[in-house]
Amino acid sequence: MKFSCTQENLNRGLAIVSHIANKNANLPILGNVLLEAGKAGIRLSATNLEIGISCLVRGKIDEVGKITIPARLFADYINLLPNEKIDFIVKDQELEVACQKSHTKIKGLAADEFPVIPKVDSKKTYQLTTKDVKKAISSTAFAVAFDESRPEISGVYTIFKEEKATLVATDSYRLAEAKADLIGDKKGEESVIVPVRTYQEIIRILEEENESIEVNLNENQIQFTLGDIELVSRVIDGQYPDYTQIIPAEHRTKAVINIADFTKAIKTAALFCKSGINDIDLKLDKEKATITTSNTQVGENESEIEINLEGEPNQIVFNYRYLLDGLANIDSEEVELRLVDSVNPGLLLPAGQEGYFYIIMPIKQ
């Protein structure tokens, strides 16, 4: 095996794939990255058996072959080399790395031991823009539950239907839903539960916002293809709860509130709320919202902000952390808060926009 490529190209590829490789006492090779020199270029691959990532790097191939090398060591070393051409030769399970001022040998493991990263061969193919995907993931994934006893809500429920991809996440205390437009040919309706770690990796490797990303599905796996990068992940088995049942069908109160003012008032009130409960009392009345908190050991606080109210005055108690999470993921200057009463969930939407909503359960007094 003999090839050469630039430090810049190899460094980019390793930054994409090496992140997924981890030390494993039972399978040490999972800590390695697979290097394959072939006609198309140099393919780098890494897997943790749940997620597999591969990336094609341009280079000059003099002799085809493959080997696995410790991922973190290799990535750190290449990152420190100057931006120039690097030559590679494999001899006796050792990778010799040579550039103008450096010569190194790194011990590897046989490529035959590396787990096969499957390709998802399916007619269920969907395309989205990377900009829409990034926005939809970022505004929902934070709300998943980290609860091994309920694996179905530890992932992001993803529905492909008609001209939209819908992403949903919940931990039973709050729920976020975002929609992204599908582009190209539509392939019918399909739904899967995608592990949150998978979507976090997608966010990490997305670079250009004007590109498209292809999604392929089968019963057990999902594959994302972005140019020369492929990510394959298992999907979570189980039935996602019918979240549509908790979406408030009506409301008695609608308040339009400036997000910056609302956020500042909540953060101020949070300094005085009860530790572990994180409760703030929100009262909506005429042209103002009053936010109140008290803690017998610290003190109390009351803040007022201007609002535009439609319907009845109302009052509710929220966990301030959940409320701030929702506001932070609303891409608008103003939020529309809809309430029924103090025991039903509140609904947050970007004012004057469609495609996203956030539901938060109240703290019952």
Q: What is the C-alpha to C-alpha distance for residues 224 and 231, in angstroms, rounded to an integer? A: 5
Q: What is the pLDDT along the chain (365 residues), one digit of tens a residue?
A: 999 999 999 999 999 999 899 888 789 999 999 999 999 999 999 999 999 999 999 999 999 999 999 999 999 999 999 999 999 999 989 999 999 888 999 999 999 999 999 888 877 899 999 999 999 999 999 999 988 789 999 999 999 998 999 999 999 999 999 999 999 876 688 999 999 999 999 999 987 666 899 999 988 999 999 999 999 999 999 999 999 999 999 999 999 999 999 999 999 999 999 888 899 999 999 889 999 999 888 899 999 999 999 999 999 999 999 999 999 999 999 999 999 999 999 999 999 899 999 999 999 87
Beta-bridge mates of residue 348: 337, 358
| Residues contacting residue 276 through CB under 8 Å, at least 6 positions apart | none
Which CATH entry fits the domain spanning 2-113: 3.30.530.80, 2.70.170.10, 3.10.150.10, 3.30.70.260?
3.10.150.10
Sheet containing 32-38: order of strands: 65-70, 32-38, 41-47, 51-57, 229-234, 221-226, 212-217, 124-129
Would you list the domain boundaries of the chain? 2-113, 124-243, 247-360
**Of residues 197, 195, 227, the one with CA closest to residue 214:** 227
| Residues contacting residue 31 through CB under 8 Å, at least 6 positions apart | 21, 22, 23, 24, 70, 71, 72
| Second CATH level (architecture) for the domain 124-243 | Roll (3.10)
128 Cα distance to chain centroid? 15
Angle subtended by helix axes 320-328 and 259-270, to nearest 10: 150
pLDDT the model gives residue 210? 67
pTM for the predicted model, two decimal places: 0.92
pLDDT the model gives residue 208? 63
pLDDT the model gives residue 141? 96
Beta-bridge mates of residue 88: 3, 97
Same fold, 2-113 and 247-360: yes
pLDDT the model gives residue 49? 93
β 221-226/288-295 pair status: unpaired
Q: What is the C-alpha to C-alpha distance for residues 224 and 166, in angstroms, rounded to an integer? A: 16
Which CATH entry fits the domain spanning 247-360: 2.60.120.700, 3.30.360.10, 3.90.1150.10, 3.10.150.10?
3.10.150.10
